[in-house]
A and B are shown apart, each in its own frame.
Chain A
Amino acid sequence: MSTPDASGSAGADSENKSHPMAIAVITTSGVFPNLDDYRRGYSTEVVRELLAAAARQLGLTNTADWVATVGNRPINEAETFAANDLYGIVEIEWHKREGGGGA
């Protein structure tokens, strides 16, 4: 998988248009769709639907407390990629939220 150039904004007017995208979900149990490619999708797709597909493929059954980020920015899984200002090639980091602690 090559390093994507950017996930730059296509502008507010583009939020309602459907732009083709290439998306990878990088988790602590593997990469969706695989290590060598991106999944094709559209900017109007809801992030949660893609994460659900990734969970099915990677055998993840309990991700209720997981967080999704792009470039260290948390994204709203209930919104579309466009509403999260994500376009083009996007790599989503998806992992369990860190635990607290302190002795």
Chain B
Amino acid sequence: MHEALAKSNFEREVANLSLVFTRCHRWEVNSIEYPVVDVTFNGTRPLRVQLTCDNWPELPPSALLLMPDGSPPVGLPGGVFHQDLHPTTGRPFVCMRGFREYHTHSSHLTDLWDTYRAQDGMNVAGLLTQLCVAWRTQVGL
């Protein structure tokens, strides 16, 4: 995808991360700079996520899980949050449809991103919301 088009797509996506939206979800936006959205889900156990959206929406976004201070995550709860290392990135990863690490994992290579990417709610804000709900369901509000 042409870089300018990818950046334009990205800018349109992050426009959904309004102050009203992030306040309602109790997120802190650390930075938004193409192609990365860096947010922290606040709560009893905050989680920081750096979502890389290069070539959006041709590629699903890649999620880097972090502690709020930017250090590597410890004690991920399981479910879609894998403390073990992804075979490609070598890092803990999110295993949920819509995220690059899921679709590139050997267990899900036949579950294609193309199946999901046009669905309502599978945009950048939607994927972050799903991830946040999964996190808070696992660790508490």
A residues apposed to B, CB below 8 Å:
1, 3, 24, 26, 28-31, 35, 60-63, 65-66, 72, 91, 93, 95-103
Interface of A is mostly: loop
* B121 in complex: contacting residue of A28, A72, A101, CB < 8 Å: A28
Pair B21/A31 contact, Cβ less than 8 Å:
yes
* A residues in contact with B131, CB < 8 Å: 98
Instruction: Give the total number of A-B pairs whose CB atoms are below 8 A apart.
Output: 82
Q: In the complex, what distance in Å separates the CA atom of A19 from the CA atom of B94?
A: 44
30 CB-based A-B contacts, threshold 8 Å: A24-B20, A26-B20, A26-B24, A28-B16, A28-B21, A28-B121, A29-B121, A30-B16, A31-B18, A35-B20, A60-B120, A61-B120, A62-B120, A66-B121, A72-B136, A91-B24, A95-B126, A95-B129, A96-B119, A96-B120, A96-B122, A97-B130, A98-B96, A98-B131, A99-B80, A99-B98, A99-B130, A101-B79, A101-B97, A103-B95
CB <8 Å contact, B96 and A101 = yes
Q: Which residue of A lies closest to B95 (CB)?
A: A101
A102–B98 alpha-carbon span in the complex (Å): 13
